[in-house]
Structure 1
């Protein structure tokens, strides 16, 4: 499942294509397709131009890692219990009610251990 590209990622793709892609010409666009470069219109991760993916994208390792790895969007937070995606726009700390309940139980267990004078053995 692909995710939407961020504005920074789109700008980085455009600059890589303009500077390093052998198939790109400022006047004609993409030479094999004889139209505008396919990568300029990309809005989602997923399918990329094969030449771009194999020859141009490795020139920017950070962008390559961001585009080719599976997982949540870069601006999403990770759930501290299971590692799932948590939307950044709310005060939500966990990805689901089950994770929130599990974390609450863990916090209560640690609180009661401290209250009784025991130490945590983790």
Structure 2
């Protein structure tokens, strides 16, 4: 059994802040936990507006608080994000994420990430990065 506390994890190297300062993510479950997926609580800061394209991962995102939108860049369709909304990037969808307020999101990645990932120039995570335990 794995038991972790978000407040404790936020005070550890499990909390990653993006280099550009638009989000932070506390990685509660990682590849080394051998569950086949990773689970994060991510905060998207107010007025963040960035392009993402997870070429190597599928992601499911559930909004717990805040307000924003996700735009499908293939179709131009915009979807509002409010508490209770889930969006699933089931086709490695290239998208824009905008936060009109600070948003708190629960995120699941498959395959799981190792822990230290930040977005590359294309808005993706690499398949393998530095395991969090070695940082």
TM-score by length of 2: 0.23
Structure with greater strand percent: 2
The structure with the largest alpha-carbon Rg is 1
